[in-house]
Amino acid sequence: MTTDTTDHVPLFVGLGEILWDLFPDGPRFGGAPANFACSAAALGTPRIRVAMASSVGQDPLGTQALATLTEKHVSVAGVRQSPQPTGQVLIDVDRSGAATYEFAADAAWDDFQWSAALEHLAQNTAVVCYGTLSQRSAISQQTVHQFLSLVPTDAFKIFDINLRPPHHTDRIIRESLHSANVLKMNEDELPVLAALCQQSGSTLEILQGLARQYDLQCVALTRGHEGAVLLRGEEISEHPGVTTKVIDTVGAGDAFTATLALGLLHNQPLADINRRACEVAAYVCSQAGATPTFPPEW
């Protein structure tokens, strides 16, 4: 694996949007790749190092985002400051804790431009996580895929699909699948992918079909309070989920993905990865906000 000459600790990268989740009680730091990065740093440091590749505005929210990432042990060397405003999303959480999202237009993460810092990060990446939302602008989509094209061939490239209608297209999904070797989706996204990729049958048959179609090393399906299904080659794990009192679900899937990535990097048994990822996701659901502080024993 290609690594930085000054640091051989594996590098995790969150690639995509940084934004602020606007809840009724005030703003909270977020964005799926940023949540992934913060959770990976919280769970994996010092065994790994973590960086963010994104863009924020030259505004107070941008400054606060950079400070938050740094505080959470995530490098901001790959974060550009743009004339566009830092991203924001209006979040509505229903009585069950499920969230709906309304994203501000023309945000800084829509102006995610290529740089030498991104090239250096890409060439030294061990794990990268990206989704569809950050690709809604042409310039950001180009940067995301340029980054992915430079990642070492033995790195884990995790496509956490993270559909946020109407901010995706069939082309973006297909191109992102072709760039990935790990796919993660939730139960609402499964039928969308199945139809787009012309896969049918049982849930497991669809996951196996997607793995074959896109030569994926691992496929993960999260099912809310019903747990998750993981597929890695011939290895299959189903976990029933962890009972918890849900405050909000924001960031739970990203924490699941971070835990999955750590398990894959260390080649842990799939059942152990699934159990741990479900535990972590359930804990995040029991806390307010996307990147809560984890118990010290974790």
Per-residue pLDDT tens digits for 189-229: 999 999 999 999 999 999 999 999 999 999 999 999 999 99
Q: How long is the chain?
A: 298
Q: Is the pTM of this model over 0.85?
A: yes
Name the phi and psi angles at 79, rounded to 5.
-105, 120
Report how far apart, in Å, the C-alpha atoms of 50 and of each of 44, 108, 186 are.
9, 21, 24
Structure tokens at 271: 């059942």
pLDDT, tens digit (0-9, with 9 covering 90-100), for 42-85: 999 999 999 999 999 999 999 999 999 999 999 999 999 999 99
* CB atoms inside a 10 Å sphere around CB 212: 10
Q: Which residues contact 178 (CB under 8 A, 6 or more apart)?
A: 214
DSSP 107: -
Q: What architecture does CATH give domain 11-285?
A: 3-Layer(aba) Sandwich (3.40)
Give, as one character, the DSSP assignment of residue 225: G
